[in-house]
Structure 1
Amino acid sequence: MKSWTKSIEINAPIEHVWSFLNGSLEDMQKIMPQVVENTPIKVTEEGVGSVYRQKYKEGKRVMEYDVTTLEYKNTADHKRLKVGFNLGNMFDITAAYELKKLDRDRTSFTYTTTNDPLKWFVKLFLLFSSDKVVVEFVERVKKAAEENQPVVM
């Protein structure tokens, strides 16, 4: 299993950043443009155990998988969402998104992902993998949150 973690400071309120992770499909697509569908299959009151069927487009190919909520915390100063899914019977993947309020207009965002190969030959690919995708993701979240802030009057 391989794990990557990256943190970044975002110049936007915590609730606004959270809306990209825990909001509508339209908001989610601003940080995950390849997700073309996110349909609730089972929604629990506490969040943990909820399951969403996602469709992910890579080139012309669309992959479908179920995303299960493993952790869920939503307080005014601290938010955490951890999900897990199986990708093509090749990998078990987790993704954790953690937000901490620094002040009214600044949020700390930490993204951690793990990738557990399920086939021996896939393990070789992980040996050569870098954190490039993780770095690009946290930068995309920062850019989306800072550029799409609601106007306060």
Structure 2
Amino acid sequence: MAENETILTAEGLKQLEEELEVYKTVKRKEVAGRIKQAIDFGDISENSEYDDAKDEQAFIETRIIALEKMLGNVKVIRDVKETDVVTLGAKVLLRDVEFDDEEEYYIVGSVEADPDTNKISNESPVGRAVLGKSKGSIVNVSAPSGFVQYQILDIS
């Protein structure tokens, strides 16, 4: 993996491109309008609206630069159709050996990770543990409370 490479699914790439477009075409104009309006209020030395708008402008410009940098060095991972081992882009059905709970995770790059939607990073403890393993394997994952054992039930 190249240094500073951004690993994304096709869906993740589309989302970042859309986010960048919104920042460039919508957010920039909105904040420019807020700055102009704040200047119209008069003395900007003690104008909180102006300060807030300038802070937001700085955030927007920083985010645009970060997104452009990420998108400038993207590696798109393909959706996995059928595989014998866990790879980036795979969906993995895991069973907690101790509690017999099942959970399905989608293994993605760190930029796209979203635990709320079961998208976990290849760099996360669970992601690292299952990468390269096959169906039926049992993996140990370090957790704050000790080790958790998962069995890989399915890979798709």
Range of TM-score over shorter length: under 0.3
**TM-score, normalising length: structure 2:** 0.24
Q: Which is richer in helix? A: 2
Which structure exhibits the higher relative contact order, with contacts defined as CA atoms closer than 8 Å and separated by 6 or more residues? 1
Bigger-Rg structure (1/2) = 2
